[in-house]
Structure 1
C-alpha cells in the first residue's frame, strides 16, 4: 500500500527531512506555488530555517486555445516565451502583448493579495527550492521553472511530497535537482496520497506567509502557526 500523508503540513515536514543538506544556509530560499504548495513550503522553510516566498505563475495561453501555453510569467517579472509554438499557432506580437498585459495585471493582483506590501525575495545568486503539494502532469511547474530561471538563481531545486515515477524526466533540465518524498508506482492524482486534501484558501496563504516573515525563518516560531483545516 502506498503511503498517504495526513495533510499538506505533514507532507511538508516529511519532505523537509529529504532537504536537510540545505538547512541553516544563508543562500537558500523556499518558493512555494500557491495555493496548495504554501502549507508544504511553510513547513520546509521552518525546518531549514530559510525564508519563504510565493512563486506565482500565470500561464500565457494561445488566445483561441487558452489551455495551450505559449509561455508563462512568474513572480519577480520572470518571463518565459515559447516562440516556436507562437509561430506555429499563428499568434501575432500584438495578440501576444494583449495576453501578456492581462496576465501581468492578474499576477500583480495576486502578488498584492498574498504579500500584503512585503517585497518579493530576490533569487539572484540564491539556491531556490521550489515547492508544491505534488505534481501531476508537471506543465504548470515546468512553466514556473522556466520563468524562474530568468531571475538568475544559482541553482533551482524542485521539492515535492509526491510525483509520478517519471516526474523528474518530465521536467527535463528545467531544474538542477529533483527531490521527492514519494514516487508511487500507480499514480492517478495528487489528492489520492493525502488523507486531507481540502482547499487551501487565500487567507491560509496570507496567514502562512505573514507568520513565516514575522518569525524571520525561525522554525520554532513558524511551527506554531497552522492554517485552519477544512
Structure 2
C-alpha cells in the first residue's frame, strides 16, 4: 500500500482552507495534516511535522508567502512547496520558483489542477498551471514580457515593492518584515531608482499596469 501524500495548507482565509481540505479529503492517497494562516507559523509547523507538500498562498499577512517559501526552502532545499495565488501573471510564477517553490497554481484554476499539482510535486516533478506556462513560453520566445522592468528588482525589493503599492507605510513594512525603518526607506529609494519613478503614486501606477496590485 502506497503511503499517503501529507499536505499542509497555508492560507489566511479559513473558508479557503476548509474548501481545500474538503476537496483533498476525497482522495484516499492525500491527507491534510496541518493548516495555518501565517507564514511564520508555517515555517515552525514545517520543522515539526515535515509535510510532504506545502500549499502556500502568496498573499499572506506578516512575513508574506514569498518570504515564507524562501525561509522553508532555506531550511530544506528539498521542500515541495506549491505556490497558490490570485495572480496569474508570469512574473509571480518566476518569483515563486526563484524563492524555492516547485509549482504554481492560481485560485481560479480548476480543482483538478490543484490535485494534479500536489500529486506531481509528490512524485518529484515541477508543475505550473498549463495556461500560465503557455503564456510564459510565448513571452520567452517572442521577448514580449511586459514585466521585464520589475524583473530587475531583487527578491527583497520585490517584497517591499508589493507592500508599498498596496498602501503599506514604511514603518508598517519594517514591522511586517522585521527590518529597520531606515533599511526599508533605503530599499524604497533603490526601488524607485530602478523603476525610474519619483513617487509611490507613480510606482503604484506602474504596478497597476503590470497587474501586481493586491499581492
Shorter-chain TM-score: which interval?
0.3 to 0.5
Q: Relative to total residues, which structure has the larger helix share, 1 or 2? A: 2
What TM-score do the two structures reach when normalised by structure 1?
Answer: 0.34
Q: Which one scores higher on RCO, CA 8 angstroms, separation ≥ 6?
A: 1
Q: Relative to total residues, which structure has the larger strand share, 1 or 2? A: 1
What TM-score do the two structures reach when normalised by structure 2?
Answer: 0.35
